[in-house]
Structure 1
């Protein structure tokens, strides 16, 4: 076995795990799906596969391509901000409207799988931080791994991402007794809405600043 395999594997695993374990739009969405027990496996698989693909793209050199097209960065940032702000409004509407709580509880009517996957894709691909973390940051580190270390790095990163999303999505079921109460969903939606609002505001500020400086 290549002597670079294990060091590169552990580097990819630790770096990706350190970046992904944070309160963010994607994590909050996966947590909510886990609590609802709604299409959890497809959501987890999509998030893990997307992370692995983006890291592989970064390691194989696409980070340099994105660096050469800086004009795309503010547009992507503003698009992500609009999506997060819109979702924040929906989350707060659920939190403030008692009638909406019943549909949000586990065991309520499930959203269609295509709709849930579309939301998952939006949370994953419309967030500029995803590209910064996976394609640029993680990809840049992986691109420096020697020999078979590049493949090992991608494997370690993919395992960390998959493990985290499985833990978040499946492990959320342990909280199911707490979220059997409508009040718990009210607080969760308020928390999710606050996170989305904060992230959306930050992204909007970054995008507008980048446009004004051009």
Structure 2
């Protein structure tokens, strides 16, 4: 039993420490959870995406990421552009009072919601650097027979977190019953998105500088 529990808990704890942070993906899941729009599909997509990345890292595909620096640069530029665009949309909603409330605000189609969460998930280069590389490095400390259990624990943490974030957001709905709360929330989202876009560009330039040294 302990041979199963220890690697499972190790993977769970590492994944939880990586994913429980304010980021673009988490903010989008939270916003959709507050609006109760397509929560199930979004939670499943985020969880399965993390599971794929975790398995890739545990399987040793992190070396492929580090061997293709131009791939990382491409994801960095695309991710920064998307974050800046989404941040501008959030600030526009706040200024033009388009946020309104859960009942009044403009709904998002399932297709658009899934496209947005896919961009937040797969256009973030830190997903590959942190989840794939770090998870893969941590998995090497486990016996080969326990690495699959380690990955299962890490994926379980991801599914649990996104489910809690998406479905637990409804408890905050009394706070967001007022349009002003949505304006503040969208202002915060916009500022964070622009900050993340700037950080992506800065970190990308920093890595390029290190490679030239």
TM-score between the two structures when normalised by the length of structure 2: 0.93
Runs of 4+ displaced beyond 6 Å: none
For 1:167, which of 155, 159, 164 is the aligned residue? Answer: 164
Residues in 2 aligned to 1:164 and 1:106: alpha-carbon distance in whole angstroms = 26
Residues 185, 12 of structure 1: CA spacing in aligned structure 2 closer, same or farther, 3 A cutoff? Answer: same
Shift of 1:211: 4.5
CA 1:201–1:149 in 2, change beyond 3 Å: closer, same or farther?
same
125, 136, 149: which one aligns with 1:152: 149
Deviation of 1:144 after TM superposition, in Å, equals 3.4
Matched, 1:64 2:38: no
Structure 1-normalised TM-score? Answer: 0.93
**1:92 partnered with 2:68:** no
Structure 1 Cα separation of the partners of residues 108 and 70 of structure 2: 36
Equivalent pairs, count = 211
CA distance in 1, matches of 2:207, 2:149: 36
The structural deviation recorded for 1:7 is 1.3
Partner secondary structure for residue 144 of structure 1: coil
Q: What is residue 119 of structure 2 aligned with on the other side?
A: 122
**Distance in 1 between residues matched to 2:52 and 2:108, nearest whole Å:** 27
CA drift of 1:10 comes to 0.7
1:148 is displaced (CA, Å) by 2.6
| Structure 1 counterpart of 2:99 | 101
Q: Deviations over 1:14-49 (max 9, x none)?
A: 000011111011111110010011101100110011
5+ unaligned residues in a row in structure 2: which ranges?
Answer: none
Q: Is the 8 A contact 1:4 1:148 kept in 2?
A: no
Name the residue aligned to 1:80: 79
Tell me, yes or no, if the aligned pair for 1:75 and 1:207 is still in contact at 8 Å. no
Task: Please say which of residues 163-172 and 130-139 is displaced more in the overlay.
Answer: 130-139
Shift in Å, 1:151: 1.0
The unaligned stretches of length 5 or more in structure 1 are: none
In the alignment, which of 127, 133, 139 is matched to residue 136 of structure 1?
133
1:193 to 184, 190, 199: 190
**Counterpart in 2 of 1:7?**
6
Name the residue aligned to 2:40: 41
Shift of the 144–106 alpha-carbon distance from structure 1 to 2, 3 Å rule, reads: farther
Tell me how far apart the structure 1 counterparts of residues 106 and 193 of structure 2 sit (CA, whole Å): 24
Q: Superposition RMSD on alpha carbons, in Å?
A: 1.6
Instruction: Report SS of the residue matched to 1:101.
Output: coil
